[in-house]
Amino acid sequence: MPALILGVLAILVFKKKIKSVKPEKSKANGKRNVNYEDILETIRKQNGRLHTILFAANSLDDLPVTIPVNVAIRLSKNHTCLLIDLGTRRNAIARAFDLDASPENHSRITSCSTQLKDVSVWPARNFELLKQMNLRPLLDNAAKKYDYILVYAPYLTTLPDRRQIAACTKRAIAFSGNNGSRLMKLLKQCNCKVIKEM
């Protein structure tokens, strides 16, 4: 019984910690705070279409992990949300939700539940296990289960599968930063519509 009480308290404390992730200042925004309500409004305007949104940037400086995490948390108040982490160098989204992201501890390639009922994570380690990134089937299957799919690609322009990623997602919020023309050119070439540039 005491273990159960401690477990419930730990979940409540962690839930409070997740909900209070502070917005980071983004260099893409001239060192201003990110306006989450503006991002959410842009996403909601995609009503009636597939709700897969690519969060794309040239570097981690332009797109910190707190941005997609905070957007997912806010969307989960009324919707189910899957966060797909393409930041394979760090597995940052899994760590933000305190999930064990090490490949050796997992034999199944699947999304992971978080402490928030309506937020799931597809950790970057899943792509390490697959040895090949094939985003199209993943997005098609996830669209049957989730209201929103947020794809986090903090250094999209350097990923080997960047063209496939941009073409599969079809809509992006671009965190263009200092070298935004490279990112914008890639998205345009792949017919990935930029619904917001930051």
Does residue 162 register a pLDDT over 70? yes
| Class (C level, CATH) for 2-197 | alpha beta
Q: What percent of the chain has pLDDT over 90?
A: 51
- Residue 52 — pLDDT band, cuts 50, 70, 90? very high
Range ranked top by mean pLDDT from 11-15, 126-130, 143-147: 143-147
Report the pLDDT value the prediction gives residue 138, as an integer from 0 to 100.
87
User: How far apart are the C-alpha atoms of 144 and 103, rounded to whole Å?
Assistant: 26
Does residue 8 register a pLDDT over 70? no
**Cα separations (Å) of 23 from 20, 61, 123, 157, 174?**
9, 14, 21, 24, 17
Report the pLDDT value the prediction gives residue 160, as an integer from 0 to 100.
87
Residue type, 114: T
Instruction: Express each pLDDT in 69-114 by its tens digit.
Output: 999 999 999 999 999 999 888 889 999 999 875 655 555 678 899 9
CB within 8 A of 179, min separation 6: which ones? 58
- 156 within 8 A of 163, measured Cβ to Cβ: no
- 164 within 8 A of 26, measured Cβ to Cβ: no
Q: Which two tokens stand for residue 191?
A: 């017919």
Mean pLDDT score of the chain: 80
Residue type, 135: L
Instruction: Express each pLDDT in 21-33 by its tens digit.
Output: 444 444 444 444 7
Q: So where are the chain's domains?
A: 2-197
